[in-house]
Amino acid sequence: MSNSQEWRVAVIGAGTISQRVHIPVFQKQPNTTVVAVCDVNAARAEAIAVETGVPNVYSDYEKMLAEMQPNITVVATPNVFHKPMATAALEAGSNVLCEKPVALTYADASEMFATAAARNLALTVGTHFRFTAPMQAAKNHVNHGFFGRIYAARTVWQRRNGIPGYGSWFTNKDLAGGGALLDIGVHTLDRALYLMNYPQPARVTGVTFAEFGPRGRGLGGWGSDISKPSANTRYDVDDVAWAQVVFADGAVMQFQVAWAANYADTFVTEIFGTEGGARIGGQDSVELYSMLNGLEVKTDTQLPAQKGGSYDQLIANFVRYLNGDTSADIVTPEQALVHVQIVDAITRSAAEGREVVL
């Protein structure tokens, strides 16, 4: 890993997430400059570079890597490109923040992390929801033993109308690899697994549906290339996934994600422990359940103020990690691999109609 104090960041993909998050947040980090941005849509890359003050624009990422020699590369393109782009950046000697899902399959993700390890470079993933104030408060309670042994979790992200990028790469299986399961599933898994201290998954049963997108329903506003529903709109990914994961230590997780549902927006992770339980919501709530002096109590955690949002925390931790700060909390290769392993197993279980043993 580089000990350089000067970070030169190159961004591949000038879409929604890099415009709103990667470029402005990296620009706030100490000794860090976003030196270049690349997109096959050259006009989009140019517009974002002008808006954010990034000095160099490319439409060919290999050329950008060769000429700019970044030591941090952000990969923020359609999912199918994550592996080749992250691998090219690692081979060019750059650390990588790769957007989620890190890869479409467990085998691909394993190869990517092996490439990073062989070069002593960091490869991490943008599953930032572990850094919300409620999640950090809940993690603090985990670290202090509040829950006792955590034997179960339920983790849910359901949107009422939230299919992203309708008609773009998001809803095209060849480019996205999957729908809600891959897109918001990895975030939803990371929230529960982070609090459970990443137990090893052993058995997985899952189902997926495509109930809304094929009918042009449940559409959300996220993404750069949304189209209006028409007979020609391609939609061949899932929009709902439910699963149960049993871990090697006997703990269980129930998992529900939906890009769209005839139900209220729901973003919650619940933890069940032998001594305490918790309900961790979106931005503002951590409810704790336990016994006090022989009585059942429910406590609301007063959340400490947090500087910036959860993605700010992820990027700040990544830069601190690269600077050698061993207390930095990053999404590790082992953790990112578990996300993809579980997603893989849910996909297989859904296709084959049976439990998958890992």
Ligand X SMILES: NC(=O)c1ccc[n+]([C@@H]2O[C@H](COP(=O)([O-])OP(=O)(O)OC[C@H]3O[C@@H](n4cnc5c(N)ncnc54)[C@H](O)[C@@H]3O)[C@@H](O)[C@H]2O)c1
Nearest-angstrom CA–CA distance, 175 and 221? 19
Structure tokens at 318: 């990544």
Candidate segments 40-48, 130-138, 274-282, 299-307, binder of ligand X by CB under 6 A: 40-48
| Contact status: 40 vs ligand X (CB under 6 A) | yes
Residues 6+ apart with CB under 8 A from 213: 163, 166, 171, 179, 235, 237, 239, 259, 260
Nearest-angstrom CA–CA distance, 338 and 186? 9
Q: Which of 9, 10, 35, 44 binds ligand X (CB under 6 A)?
A: 44
Candidate segments 34-42, 131-139, 295-303, 319-327, binder of ligand X by CB under 6 A: 34-42
Q: Which of 224, 227, 254, 323 binds ligand X (CB under 6 A)?
A: 224
Between 109 and 148, how does the x/- string for binding to ligand X read (CB under 6 A)? -----------------x-x--------------------
Q: Which of 165, 178, 199, 276 binds ligand X (CB under 6 A)?
A: 165
- Rg value, the chain, Cα: 20
Q: Which of 41, 105, 161, 301 binds ligand X (CB under 6 A)?
A: 41
Give me the half-sphere count of Cα atoms (radius 13 Å) on the Cβ side of residue 37: 31
* Residues 87/65, Cβ–Cβ less than 8 Å: no
Which of 322, 321, 323, 313 lies closest to 28 in space, CA to CA? Answer: 313
Minimum gap (Å) between residue 290 Cβ and ligand X: 32
Strands 123-125 and 95-98: parallel
Nearest-angstrom CA–CA distance, 153 and 245? 10
* Residues 219/211, Cβ–Cβ less than 8 Å: no
Between 280 and 319, how does the x/- string for binding to ligand X read (CB under 6 A)? ----------------------------------------
Between 195 and 214, how does the x/- string for binding to ligand X read (CB under 6 A)? --------------------
Helix (H, G, I), strand (E, B) or coil at 127: coil
Q: Which of 29, 52, 77, 172 binds ligand X (CB under 6 A)?
A: 77
Q: Which of 168, 188, 317, 341 binds ligand X (CB under 6 A)?
A: 168
| Contact status: 341 vs ligand X (CB under 6 A) | no
Residues in contact with ligand X by CB under 6 A are 12-18, 38-41, 44, 61, 76-79, 81, 99-100, 126, 128, 165, 168, 183, 223-225
